[in-house]
Amino acid sequence: MTIENNSPKNFAQSPIVLIAPFFFLGTAMVAMKAIISDTTPLFMAGFRLVPAGIIVLLLAAWWKLPQPKTWKAWLWILLFSLIDGAMFQGFLTEGLVSTGAGIGAVLIDAQPLVVAILARLLFGEFIGLWGWLGLSLGAIGISCCGLPSQWITSLATGNFSFLQNQLTAISWQSLIQSGEFLMLLAALSMSFGTIMIRYVRQHADVVVATGWHMLLGGIPLFVLSAWTETNQWNNLDSVGWTALGYATLFGTALTYGLFFYLASVGSLTSISSLIFLTPVFAMLFSYLFLLESLTFIQWIGVVLTLLGVVMVIQREKISEKLFSYADKSDSIANPN
């Protein structure tokens, strides 16, 4: 028996269920940013994954979900653990050291663009004109939120020489040490993880695989933390442990479980595009609790991102309504 059989038929279409993973992910970013100076990034990444994986596996055992039995299942889970577990969380927490919670969440949201292309190539998922327009708006919105404002201004005013000089001054060393670049690597890792869940699901229960991928993905992060970091928890107080607990339980266990369940049964492009909501929640709560403010250009980016979400999610309905409207107009114009 799988969790799909125990779930209501319209579970995956519930607006609350669809939005919940991205609300928890955005607010978990704020919680992590608030305590990042009191702990270390790799320890935080491991702490997010291992306890969350144990929780999910215990729930899977309670639901009597089947454990992986074949070597192909374990191979896919191990690959899933490396890419979407260790790499995604590692890049995310390392990048969070030098970027704000809201901006970091925005940069991770480059993920749906990669997912949409891969889903189209691998699974033939429909994107259509409105889907591509929505994804393009999302990309522009992300750029407005994440790129330096001078770059956006120079691009808008046609001052390409300034932009060229800025790009030329970027070195590989500075790029690797850049929090923004690490966030984009996290987005790329999550993109491949989102695609990979379709293959994992062919060999293992999606909830069980999600639990194992968190547990196994967190172990190398703890090993790297023990090897390269010090004072991982010495400065954490009760508030800090509570924030870590929230990031683990809600921002990881519940978020991963819901997200990959939805990705396994629904449209990859639609589900992954909902992650555009993550920076909205992250920016709102980082403003309220961390006093991180947005520039005018960043607010434009937020608006464009939301518009992109609506267009991608409603792309088929928009096309149907336009075709229906065109047919009615043609019938009125040509009654015979």
Q: Where in the sequence is the domain holding 41, given as residue range(s)? A: 19-333
Burial class (CB in 10 A: 0-12, 13-18, 19+), 245: middle
pLDDT tens-digit profile of 137-148? 887 887 787 677
- Does the residue 71 lie in any domain? yes
8 A C-beta contact, residue 268 and residue 301: no
pLDDT-above-90 percentage for the chain = 33
Q: Which of 205, 189, 253 is nearest to 54 (CA)?
A: 253
pLDDT value at residue 326: 58
- Does the residue 1 lie in any domain? no
Classify residue 39 by its DSSP letter. Answer: S
First to last CA, the chain: 56
Over residues 27-53, mean pLDDT: 93
More confident residue, 95 or 10: 95
Return the sign of the alpha-carbon dihedral for residues 300, 301, 303, 307: positive
pLDDT value at residue 6: 45
Strand, helix or coil for residue 157: helix
90 pLDDT above the threshold of 90? yes
pLDDT tens-digit profile of 1-35? 344 444 434 555 667 777 888 899 889 999 999 99
Q: Which of 279, 312, 272, 275 is nearest to 298 (CA)?
A: 279
- Does the residue 85 lie in any domain? yes
- Does the residue 176 lie in any domain? yes
- Does the residue 303 lie in any domain? yes
- Does the residue 11 lie in any domain? no
Cα→Cα distances 165→48, 63, 154, 159, 168, Å? 40, 58, 11, 11, 5
- Does the residue 9 lie in any domain? no
Over residues 87-108, mean pLDDT: 85
- Does the residue 285 lie in any domain? yes
pLDDT value at residue 318: 76
Q: How many separate domains does the chain show?
A: 1
What is the separation of C-alpha 221 from the centre of its chain, rounded to a whole number of angstroms?
A: 19
